[in-house]
Amino acid sequence: MLSTICFLSGYFIICQTQWSNENGAVPGEPVKKDENSRRGNWGNQIEFVLTSVGYAVGLGNVWRFPYLCYRNGGGAFMLPYFIMLVFCGIPLFFLELSFGQFASLGCLGVWKISPMFKGVGYGMMVVSTYIGIYYNVVICIAFYYFFMSMTNLLPWTYCNNPWNTPDCSGVVSTSNQLNASLANATTTLVAGVSELVNRTKRTSPSEEYWKHYVLNISDDIGNFGEVRLPILGCLAVSWVVVFLCLIRGVKSSGKVVYFTATFPYVVLTILFIRGITLDGAINGIKYYLTPQWQKVLDAKVWGDAASQIFYSLGCAWGGLITMASYNKFHNNCFRDSIIISITNCATSVYAGFVIFSILGFMAHHLNVPVSEVADHGPGLAFVAYPEALTLLPISPLWSLLFFFMLILLGLGTQFCLLETLVTAIVDEIGTDWIIRNKTVVTLSIAVVGFLLGVPLTTQAGIYWLLLMDNYAASFSLVIISCIMCICIMYIYGHRNYFKDVEMMLGFPPPLFFKVCWRFISPVIISFILIFTVIQYKPITYNDYVYPGWSLAIGFAMALSSVVCIPIYALYKISRSPGATFRERLKNACRPHPKWGPALQEHRTGRYAAMASEDTVEARPLKEKEELREELKEEEKEKERKDEISLTIQGSNGSTNTHNNPNPSA
């Protein structure tokens, strides 16, 4: 809507014309300033959606989902996957977005809803810390491969390098290497694979490059060896990039995501078009999607589907609450939750076509089943897929694109992990100094994150990275999410929360979401927890079995986030007023007086009484008098401006006056 405002300045009348945007406001509500000047807001809603998509769509969409899909019945896996999306993924996503947006606070501040459960917020911070440390190490390895791809010949193409062993056998023939220049050596495909297939033990050049050159991996998790300086340098680059993108909080990261959240889809599309044109690609895609309907009756398939949905969307990390807290109060987060959740799952399916078309091409040239070249996790990203890329003409180009895509996917998640920690600290301290110097907090966390990531760049780093990946953010996330649902729906009360959502959105949550929040989603979360415990197997890395002491450290990391919940609950109960334990418990669970919308203009209904009490009556006498004087001065100033403001008839026939100083809000 185009609006014009005029005001008197000296002897001149100055007019300003600008576009106004209600940003998802409740229909019929007058346009008003909705900017939280103290914390800041997203520049527009597209920035929030793109940031959330970048947060949810991460490395797991590329290196975990396609593998799970073909291992659990191909196309048949899609059925339980989408059922879990509808009944668990989208409802939990909407719950966390609405939770953070309503209070405009991070993962610690939102627990004013029931202060006894603030330990859940601390648990989220611990989980985000663990993930942020090792996730950036994965990104730095992608940076390293990206830099190493800037060459005419990929270094993992042949077996004639100093780090190769006698067991190495490549998929690209070396017979033509002497007769071809480096520029066209990458176009030489396998001439004869019979000798390769008949080998009883084969290690690929990409696997040996990964193990013996990039990692120079040690023989035990306790044998750290030396720091791999190239990886350490790339880790520094990764943290510098993350810090620079978050230097102004959501104001800067919101602009970066226009590229980091969208360009991976461009790369995926380029790789997909190239992949489906290769020989054998159809076989790989068939292997990926061919339904095995008998597996639908297998409980493990449903468990994998529920787990993948839960972990892929980033529930219980604290990131969703944090990102939503920078929304304007009346933003339609219900719409956003559906868009982002479906985009995340569609990306996973799309990535499967990209991965298996290339792997099908590789299996065709090796004359082996697709299952022998399929892999997941770091094995797919840094061994199987890079090896397949060596078969393509102009292989360095495709390698550059692939690893650049991995970098962007990782950075999108890493931005939110770091912002979660920064926002939680700034909201908790809450002083003017800490808010003005938020950049210092961001820099401090980035430096600490870099230092804590240094051990992961040693020769034993990959062991510790996988240990953190398997334990730091596994069943603890499930427990945190389950307790969050119970607290909001049963301690705070589902009726109260439904009214809060209605006040914020202008309509109550649909009946389906009410039922899911109260019953279905907690049951599914409990099922995921039970499934995780039943399916537990001690972690291994290829043939290496982790020693007992390292597994104990893994469980300690997992419990360190969960144990925050009972410890803080006991602390809060002990500090709450009351003559008996029951009274203390009741007071500890009661919402804090400041719980509710952050801005006074939104504190309506049952929050209106709290707002007026907080602004005047709940203050000391001197502060009351000062506040009343300030209010009187504001009223006088407003009357003075009204006298000199001019009313201009807008192009749409509506009247705009100076009473609405910010039509763009």
Give one DSSP letter per residue of 8-60, joined into a string. EETTEEEEEEEE---SSPPTTPPP-----TTT---SSHHHHHHHHHHHHS-HH
Residue 606 has what pLDDT? 87
In the predicted model, what is the mean pLDDT of residues 376-381?
87
Q: pLDDT tens digits, residue range 319-376?
A: 999 999 999 999 999 999 999 999 999 999 999 999 999 999 989 988 888 888 888 8
Give the span between the Cα atoms of 244 and 249, in whole angstroms. 10
Q: H-type helices in 329-429, by residue range?
A: 333-366, 378-379, 385-389, 395-429
User: Angle at which helices 118-148 and 395-429 pack, to 10 degrees?
Assistant: 150
Amino acid at 504: M
Residue 534 has what pLDDT? 86
Return the minimum-mean-pLDDT range out of 19-33, 115-129, 444-458. Answer: 19-33
In the predicted model, what is the mean pLDDT of residues 39-48?
92
Decide if pLDDT at 34 tops 70. Answer: no
- Does the annotation list 318 as a binding residue? no
In the predicted model, what is the mean pLDDT of residues 115-139?
97
In this structure, the strands spanning 540-541 and 12-19 are unpaired
Q: Answer for the pair 92, 85: CB distance below 8 angstroms, yes or no.
A: no
Residue 21 has what pLDDT? 44
Q: ∠ CA 575-579-580 to the nearest 5 degrees?
A: 90
Which pLDDT band, with edges at 50, 70 and 90, does 532 fall under?
Answer: confident
Backbone angles phi and psi of 249, in degrees to 5: 70, -140
Assigned token pair, 507: 């309509």
Instruction: Determine the 3-state secondary structure of 7 from DSSP.
Output: strand
Residue 298 has what pLDDT? 86
Give the span between the Cα atoms of 663 and 658, in whole angstroms. 10
Which pLDDT band, with edges at 50, 70 and 90, does 196 fall under?
Answer: very low
In the predicted model, what is the mean pLDDT of residues 465-488?
92
Tell me the CB-side half-sphere exposure of residue 194, using CA atoms within 13 A: 1
Residue 655 has what pLDDT? 38
The DSSP 8-state label assigned to residue 454 in this structure reads G
Tell me the CB-side half-sphere exposure of residue 82, using CA atoms within 13 A: 9
Span between the terminal Cα atoms of the chain, in Å: 12
Which pLDDT band, with edges at 50, 70 and 90, does 300 fall under?
Answer: confident
CB atoms within 10 A of CB 180: 13
Q: Name the residue with higher pLDDT: 516 or 653.
A: 516
Q: Answer for the pair 48, 321: CB distance below 8 angstroms, yes or no.
A: no
In the predicted model, what is the mean pLDDT of residues 459-483?
92
Amino acid at 568: Y
Decide if pLDDT at 633 tops 90. Answer: no
Which pLDDT band, with edges at 50, 70 and 90, does 31 fall under?
Answer: very low
Assigned token pair, 597: 């919308």
Decide if pLDDT at 1 tops 80. Answer: no
Decide if pLDDT at 637 tops 80. Answer: no
Assigned token pair, 452: 């804590």
Decide if pLDDT at 23 tops 90. Answer: no
- Does the annotation list 37 as a binding residue? no
Average predicted confidence (pLDDT) for the chain: 85
CB within 8 Å of 595: residues ≥ 6 apart: 103, 112, 113
Decide if pLDDT at 198 tops 50. Answer: no
Assigned token pair, 295: 């597996």
In the predicted model, what is the mean pLDDT of residues 633-654?
50
Q: pLDDT tens digits, residue range 414-433?
A: 999 999 999 999 999 989 99
Assigned token pair, 531: 């499934």
Give the span between the Cα atoms of 351 and 337, in whole angstroms. 21
Q: pLDDT tens digits, residue range 88-112?
A: 999 999 999 999 999 999 999 999 9
Give the span between the Cα atoms of 551 and 540, in whole angstroms. 10
Decide if pLDDT at 161 tops 90. Answer: yes
Tell me the CB-side half-sphere exposure of residue 247, using CA atoms within 13 A: 6
Decide if pLDDT at 398 tops 80. Answer: yes
The DSSP 8-state label assigned to residue 401 in this structure reads H
CB within 8 Å of 571: residues ≥ 6 apart: none
Give the span between the Cα atoms of 113 and 103, in whole angstroms. 9
In the predicted model, what is the mean pLDDT of residues 486-498?
97
Residue 640 has what pLDDT? 59
In the predicted model, what is the mean pLDDT of residues 171-194?
41
Residue 634 has what pLDDT? 60
Residue 646 has what pLDDT? 41
Which pLDDT band, with edges at 50, 70 and 90, does 156 fall under?
Answer: very high
The DSSP 8-state label assigned to residue 4 in this structure reads E
Tell me the CB-side half-sphere exposure of residue 165, using CA atoms within 13 A: 13
Q: Name the residue with higher pLDDT: 241 or 654.
A: 241
Q: Name the residue with higher pLDDT: 15 or 245.
A: 245
Q: Name the residue with higher pLDDT: 460 or 197.
A: 460
Closest by CA to 154, choosing from 391, 358, 384, 379, is 391
Which pLDDT band, with edges at 50, 70 and 90, does 647 fall under?
Answer: very low
Closest by CA to 426, choosing from 86, 200, 60, 109, is 109
Residue 537 has what pLDDT? 87
Q: Answer for the pair 382, 399: CB distance below 8 angstroms, yes or no.
A: no
CATH of segment(s) 47-159+205-574: 1.20.1740
Task: List beta partners, residue 458.
Answer: 227
- Does the annotation list 344 as a binding residue? yes
Task: List beta partners, residue 227.
Answer: 458
Q: Say if residue 419 is exposed, middle or buried (CB neighbours under 10 Å; 0-12, 13-18, 19+).
A: buried
Give the span between the Cα atoms of 146 and 171, in whole angstroms. 21
Task: List beta partners, residue 2.
Answer: 19
- Does the annotation list 409 as a binding residue? yes
Q: How far is CA 226 from CA 202, 308, 453, in A?
A: 28, 35, 14
Return the minimum-mean-pLDDT range out of 173-177, 214-218, 345-349, 374-378. Answer: 173-177
Residue 170 has what pLDDT? 82
CB within 8 Å of 246: residues ≥ 6 apart: 252, 253, 415, 418, 419, 422, 442
Q: pLDDT tens digits, residue range 217-245?
A: 999 999 999 999 999 999 999 999 999 99
In the predicted model, what is the mean pLDDT of residues 597-623?
67
Instruction: Determine the 3-state secondary structure of 593 from DSSP.
Output: coil
Give the span between the Cα atoms of 4 and 507, in whole angstroms. 31
SS3 annotation, 231-255: HHHHHHHHHHHHHHHCCCCHHHHHH
Decide if pLDDT at 2 tops 70. Answer: no
Q: Answer for the pair 92, 521: CB distance below 8 angstroms, yes or no.
A: yes
- Does the annotation list 331 as a binding residue? no
Residue 605 has what pLDDT? 86
Q: Using a pLDDT cut of 70, give the percent of the chain over it.
A: 82
Residue 628 has what pLDDT? 57
Residue 226 has what pLDDT? 96
In the predicted model, what is the mean pLDDT of residues 571-589?
95
The alpha carbon dihedral of 580, 582, 586, 588 has a sign of: positive
Q: What H or E segment, with its residue span, contains residue 323?
A: helix 319-324
- Does the annotation list 61 as a binding residue? yes
Residue 19 has what pLDDT? 42
Q: How far is CA 361 from CA 446, 577, 657, in A?
A: 41, 69, 67
Residue 607 has what pLDDT? 92
- Does the annotation list 452 as a binding residue? no
In the predicted model, what is the mean pLDDT of residues 587-603?
93
Closest by CA to 227, choosing from 574, 460, 508, is 460
Which pLDDT band, with edges at 50, 70 and 90, does 536 fall under?
Answer: confident
The DSSP 8-state label assigned to residue 620 in this structure reads -
Decide if pLDDT at 25 tops 50. Answer: no
Residue 336 has what pLDDT? 97
Q: Using a pLDDT cut of 90, give the percent of the chain over it.
A: 66
